[in-house]
Amino acid sequence: MSTDQPGNDPFRKQESPEGRQEPPRYGDSAGPYGDPADPHGSPPPASGGQGEGQGDPYGAGPYGGAGGPYGSGPYASNPYGDMTGATDPLEGMAPLASRGKRLVARIIDALLIGIPVGLIMGFAQGGWEPDDSGRTAGQQLVYTVVYLVYEGLMLTHSGQTVGKKVMRIRVAVLADGAVPRGVPGWLRSAVYHVPPLVPCIGFIFWLANVLFCTWDKPYRQCLHDKAAKTVVVAAD
């Protein structure tokens, strides 16, 4: 006579107290080999092809998905305030001003300030004497102060100097595209104009400053733009 009892066979369907037959224990989706992530037996999430679904390491890994470092960082969002995680850092911005237009605008402003300052200083000092280093330094100081004040006032008022208006470009705050009123406008002007007053080292810094936009990405910023957190864009 067999001594096996109905309850001793693990592969045999067992009856519930109400008399219903239940599937074997090891085939139950809620069992130890069913869905370990969901002990309550809820169905697993649907999975798609490569790059989709929660189980795909490339769907929500460090380089993909909204949680990745390139999905929500400052360069993945619209710098003009629409923090939507745009993949193009320039999306939503006015077009960046070309380097050529920026150079021509600087030349126009330099002539606009340099010619009258030079004439006035020449008459005041009794003519030009290039060999007089003290007189030359004084002329450079006056030119720098006048240009700094001119540019600071213009930028904080409208984001444009006369040269930038002629070339239809403007300076904008990188964060929201606003006019750089107050500190940003004055800081941008000071970082551009003050260093050349320092002999030798100041000129090297100034040269690195103005050339920085030739390789800077994605905003083509010079060092004075970096300091003031501004960008030069096309005017409306």
Name the residue among 112, 102, 122 with its Cα closest to residue 224: 102
What pLDDT, on the 0 to 100 scale, is given for residue 72?
A: 40
Show the tokens assigned to 113: 């300030």
Show the tokens assigned to 129: 């004497």
- What is the mean predicted confidence (pLDDT) over 228-235? 96
The secondary element (H helix, E strand) that includes residue 151 is helix 133-158
| pLDDT-above-70 percentage for the chain | 59
β-strands 14-15, 169-173: how paired? unpaired
Task: Report CA dihedral (80, 82, 84, 87) to the nearest 10 degrees.
Answer: -30
**What gap in Å lies between CA 224 and CA 234, rounded to an integer?**
18
Strands annotated E in 18-63 = 21-22
What pLDDT, on the 0 to 100 scale, is given for residue 222?
A: 97
pLDDT tens per residue, range 44-78 = 555 444 444 444 444 444 444 444 433 343 433 45
Confidence of residue 90 (pLDDT cuts 50, 70, 90): confident
Look up the pTM and report it.
0.62
**What gap in Å lies between CA 125 and CA 138, rounded to an integer?**
10
**What gap in Å lies between CA 85 and CA 64, rounded to an integer?**
12
3-class DSSP assignment, residue 217: coil
Half-sphere exposure of 49 (CA within 13 A, CB side): 0
